[in-house]
Amino acid sequence: MPRSMTRSALFALALVTLGAGCLGTPSDDGETLDGPIATDASGLTTVTSFGTNPGNLKMYTYSPAGVGADAPLVVVMHGCTQSALDYVKAGWNSLADTWKFHVIYPEQQTANSSTRCFNWYELGDIQRGQGEALSIKQMVDWMKGQVSIDDERVFATGLSAGGAMTAVMIATYPDVFSGGAIVGGIPYRCAAGSADLTKCMGGFDRTATVHGDVVRNAVPGYVGPRPKVSIWHGTSDIVVKPLNATELVEQWTNVHGVDATADATWTVDGASRKEYRDANGETVVESWSIPNMGHGTPVDPGFAAAGGCGTAGAYILDVNLCSTYRIGQFFGLDQGVPGGGTGGTGGTGGTGGTGGTGGTGGTGGAGGTGGTGGTGGTGGSGGSGGDPAPVCEEFYEGNYYHVQKGRAVVCGAFNSYACAVGSNQNLGLNNVLPTWIRKTGPNYYEAGRCP
């Protein structure tokens, strides 16, 4: 489905006008082969038949060794002039190796866009059931037909045009995606054609209601949960201006029915992180503003917690902040397969929030503990006629929330740490980065997970 050269040329002109550079050599757009074949350099697998593919996109996948049943799936979309292989440098494959989830990399073709941009501005590609949006949805469907995917843990992320396409996917398929992370991107339906490119990339101020309405109108009559959203932008981005991050916050807080005033603000690795919570205390939107960063995906090759995070390159920026890891945490990818343990997750206890954050063994999101009466199996009994079984409850939240909910107290130098109530174990810095703790007795908490 080739696009006209006029549209491609217009987009190329917009990139030049706003200072975008070139990202290496595009991959080959050669003939289509029958069936998937693994590439020998990257570990990506090419899938050449995954549906009608009305958007004429390419599909690559990555599945780590040892991935189990009901695994999460992340759709990762590159930026303009990039390829799927280029965007592997963002670190998603390495994180998948650690946390065991599948990855899909859609790839644009030069037949569609001479600059390899996903066509986030073409109405025929950004509506449900049409064009590139449908092609990407078909990739998800294909993957679900090949491996065991948890329907409640399908996510999307991308940079620049891939970030704008992430907004497209979570707007048009809220019944497919539980969350999205938009890096240097643009609100859904900012543009209604190539004539709007420069206006949108430069930042186009609309009211939150107008932004929210275009998302609601994308799937008329939809009343289900909406994806939670993580928004990332550099303060020195001259390609896609930072105003777009503000507009994205307004769009997605409005969609979730909350205001655009942050409920909490934190400094993490030098960046400003803001949380926007719903009435249940769930963070449904977060925003990250990275000082002095230009246009690109922030990585940290020296990030110890993940054994390194990404590889610096054009528009893959080493700013000592691992966006891939932080986004993975926001999606709950580090929490294992939900439903494990005799207590179960959610259900009676009501795990929480749009997108669902319940982890192994029965914790909620900000909502807490698997619910009233929820952690010991049905009724919590230890067997027919026997003594009650020992109860262990797990909680996975930032230490700040453990303190707020009485599981921990501030401690250490300048009260900058959190210590578990009862055991007095030091849980680390008193911040919002999630940690596991377990309750093993009345008002007694320890670091770690239940056995």
Answer whether residue 103 is part of any domain. yes
Residues 296 and 377 in one domain: no
**414 vs 432: CA distance, rounded Å:** 17
Per-residue pLDDT of the chain (451 residues; tens, 9 = 90+): 444 434 444 444 444 333 343 323 233 333 333 455 555 457 999 999 999 999 999 999 999 999 999 999 999 999 999 999 999 999 999 999 999 999 999 999 999 999 999 999 999 999 999 999 999 999 999 999 999 999 999 999 999 999 999 999 999 999 999 999 999 999 999 998 988 999 999 999 999 999 999 999 999 999 999 999 999 999 999 999 999 999 999 999 999 999 999 999 999 999 999 999 999 999 999 999 999 999 999 999 999 888 889 999 989 999 999 999 999 999 999 986 343 322 332 333 333 333 333 333 333 333 333 333 333 333 333 333 333 344 688 887 888 878 878 888 888 777 778 888 888 788 988 887 778 888 887 778 889 877 6
Residues 255 and 156 in one domain: yes
Residues 283 and 395 in one domain: no
Residues 231 and 373 in one domain: no
Q: Rounded to 5, what percent of the chain is helix, strand, coil?
A: 25, 25, 50
* pLDDT tens digits, 180-190: 999 999 999 99
- Three-state SS at 135: helix
160 is catalytic: yes
Strands (DSSP E) along 190-328, which ranges?
228-234, 264-268, 271-277, 283-290, 297-299, 316-318
**351 vs 370: CA distance, rounded Å:** 6
How do strand 58-62 and strand 45-47 relate by DSSP bridges?
Answer: antiparallel
Answer whether residue 185 is part of any domain. yes
Domain boundary among 335, 369, 393: 335
**83 vs 26: CA distance, rounded Å:** 6
Residues 56 and 131 in one domain: yes
| Structural domain total, the chain | 2
Tokens of residue 435, six digits: 């940690």
Answer whether residue 345 is part of any domain. no
Q: Indicate which residue of 83, 94, 135, 160 is catalytic.
A: 160
Using alpha carbons only, how large is the chain's radius of gyration in Å?
Answer: 22
Residues 410 and 281 in one domain: no
**How much is the pTM?**
0.71
Residues 86 and 210 in one domain: yes
Tokens of residue 149, six digits: 């995917």
Residues 102 and 249 in one domain: yes
Answer whether residue 62 is part of any domain. yes
Answer whether residue 354 is part of any domain. no
Tell me which residue of 93, 79, 77, 71 sits closest to 24, measured CA to CA. Answer: 79
Answer whether residue 286 is part of any domain. yes
Residues 118 and 9 in one domain: yes
* pLDDT tens digits, 29-41: 333 334 555 554 5
Residues 189 and 135 in one domain: yes
Residues 309 and 395 in one domain: no
- Enclosing domain of residue 138: 5-335
* pLDDT tens digits, 256-272: 999 999 999 999 999 99
Q: Which CATH number characterizes residue 176's domain?
A: 3.40.50.1820
Helices (H) and strands (E) in the chain, counts: 10, 19
Answer whether residue 433 is part of any domain. yes
Answer whether residue 352 is part of any domain. no
Domain boundary among 335, 353, 374: 335
C-alpha atoms less than 13 angstroms from C-alpha of 247 in its C-beta half-sphere:
25
